[in-house]
A and B are shown apart, each in its own frame.
Chain A
Amino acid sequence: MRPTIEFLGKNLIQQIVSEAYLILCTLGIEIHNKNVLEMFSDHGAKVDIDKSRVIFKEDIIQKALKSAPKSFKLYDVNGNETNDFSGYNVHFTPGSTSINVLDYKTKQIRKPVTDDYINYVKVVSQLEHIASQSTALIPADVHENISDSYRLFLSLLYCEKPVVTGTFTIDSFEIMKDFQLAVRGSEKALREKPLTVFSCCPTSPLKWSDVTSQNVVDCARYSIPVEFISMPLAGFMAPVTLVGTLIQHTAETLSGIVISQLTNPGTPMLYGGSPAIFDVRFETTPMGAIETMMIDCAYNEIGKYLGIPTQAYIALSDAKQLNAQAGLESGIGATLAALAGINNISGPGMLDFESCFSTEKLVVDNEICKQVLRLVKGIEPKEDFPALPIFEELLKEKHLLISEHTRKYLREEHSFPGPVINRANRARWKEMGEFTLEERAHMEVEELVNSYKPSTLAEDTKREIINLMEREGKKYGQTSLPDRY
């Protein structure tokens, strides 16, 4: 049986959804994008252009939910399936878009550069339990207007896994879409085999900016999957109660669903988010708070109820270093997310309120992912009935180490962590060098960087995306791109 966890139950979900509908159809949503407002107007919604406000109609929402795909898949650069967002399937992806990296040597944060990004991609490409990559860092050594597309460029060049990404401007969408067309070969091929998921964020409370609402529209035009990242802050920009925050999250996410499905019915979407409670002592948004995780798991239940695959920024930490807090917050988050069946779990590698990435943490989190993926496989009998024969064998042989039953099921029943997790006894651990978790994680990062094998994406395609990136850079006065190793 696959273990699951639930927080809401059908009645409460229905009440929350019903209140969200009321908000959308009574108070409406602010959308600062003329084209989107016009689209709503064309579909019979009440639109106040001057106030940038749309008052939804129930039938528009219902129609959008009807055309929303119940599942979809992602494929790597070579067209192989990697992610199946359906049912209770769970996949991990690194946290995304950090402005800092935690430097292993200095233990200080600094702005990421191209080499950091390449190192990260080389590592993530080999992490077995992290199904996709994300554009996890913002390299600071390129012009800021290309810092979003440049991340996707490096990701597609160095790693075969699909990419969770997003744009910072309306203009960047064009090249980020063109990279994907270069990889897939045609619009049709891209529609058939999605390569990326774009994060699109409403602004709490109940708003869409020009850029983000346009991103939703642009992605829909090419059937590029989006994940809606609604971020209500309980007690600050949202009601303090978890249910109140869920109502707001539902309204904001439903508004995104409608924008996407009005543009192009059938566009794949993830019912996602990055809500948090607001810590009124430190004025921070703790992603590692248990209540934040409860909100995540709960809105995932609402997404499932509405028939849309889900996503959450969970399995990350607010710690400043790779320490016990990092482990416990990421571990609890990953466990709850997987039990809840959040289809795309974003977070591994991330620290400090989603602002700081650590590749060392990423390899530790990969071990968390491994154990959690084992957890949700649950407990199933495997030739355990009748039980007498194996116990007769045990009493006769005195151990079952070489029993056929052991050899057949050992690797299925038990998971074996990599070198980051130390399970040796103390004497052996001492003999191995008495390395701390942080040291072992760093050694693993170095090992993976050294064992990296280049992406098998066709050389012509690589050349094509390099040309596209160089051209884009020149548009903003970046005459050459940073050296790549």
Chain B
Amino acid sequence: MKILKQVAEYLEKGDRERVYELTGQALEQNVSARQILDDGLIAGMKVVGDRFRKHEIFLPEVLMAARAMNAGMDLIKPLFIKEGVTAIGKIVIGTVYGDLHDLGKNLAGVMLKGAGFDVIDLGNNVPAQKFVETAEKENATVIGMSALLTTTMMEMKNVTNLLKDKGLDKSIKTIIGGAPVSEEYAKSIGADAYAYDAASGVELVKQLV
């Protein structure tokens, strides 16, 4: 469909206004929210992701595209319930208790939103309890945790343990990131995934939901 192709093209260019307008026009033409999401917005983001991986474009362009995606999402989201469309996924993110470093977590948040996820950002210094409670309350299926310090990364284990204690570790998956953590550490604390950067985190979360 021509209009959806245009949505994707302007999304690739990071043109928020045009994506918003074109999404509106598509709705007026009775294109379904599902189709706009799949063949317009997500299709455009896929191209952006591929080009980013090949180093043809850099982070600013990806984030511009993500912002354009959000503009389109604002219009189609209200229709999801009516159409029975489920969002691609809901994730709770935050920097763990005792740690105020939220740069990487913020970047992950922006990129997850850009990929179409519903992101609940709890900010920094987030206690284990709060991660789990929020995920339960909001029906999120993934918790994303970040830490910059070797002293605070231990907090991540409190979250995975709490999920296990509550019997939620099958329904709520965990992903961790940050300078001191690693694939091995993720395994050792029973986290489901480790991401070495925000872009790879988005791909991993897609597999987790």
Contact = CB atoms under 8 A, between A and B. Distances in A.
Interface in B190-208: 194, 196-197, 200
A436 to B, nearest CB: 20
Given A416-B55, A425-B197, A428-B197, A402 B60 contact: yes
Contacts of A428: 196-197, 200
A427 B183 contact: yes
Contacts of B200: 428
Q: What are the 7 A-B residue pairs with the smallest beta carbon separation, nearest first? A: A427-B196, A402-B63, A428-B196, A401-B63, A402-B64, A401-B60, A407-B60
B32 interface: no
A483 to B, nearest CB: 36
B152 interface: no
B70 to A, nearest CB: 12
A410 interface: yes
Nearest to A428: B196
Given A401-B63, A402-B64, 11 more contacts: A398-B106, A399-B107, A401-B110, A402-B63, A410-B58, A416-B55, A425-B196, A425-B197, A426-B196, A427-B194, A428-B196
Interface in A411-436: 416, 425-428, 431
B47 interface: no
B196 A399 contact: no
Interface residues of A, number: 13
A406 interface: yes
Contacts of B194: 427
Interface string A50-71: 0000000000000000000000
Contacts of B107: 399, 401
Contacts of A402: 14, 60, 63-64, 67
Contacts, number: 32
B189 interface: no
B182 A427 contact: yes
A407 B57 CA distance: 11
A35 B200 CA distance: 71
A320 B55 CA distance: 33
Interface string A383-417: 00000000000000011011000110010000010
Interface in B152-209: 182-183, 194, 196-197, 200
A416 B54 CA distance: 13
B199 to A, nearest CB: 10
A138 to B, nearest CB: 37
B183 A410 contact: no
Interface in B10-24: 14
Contacts of B67: 402
Nearest to A425: B196
A438 to B, nearest CB: 21
A336 B63 CA distance: 39
A398 B67 CA distance: 15
B196 A406 contact: no
B61 to A, nearest CB: 8
A426 B58 CA distance: 20
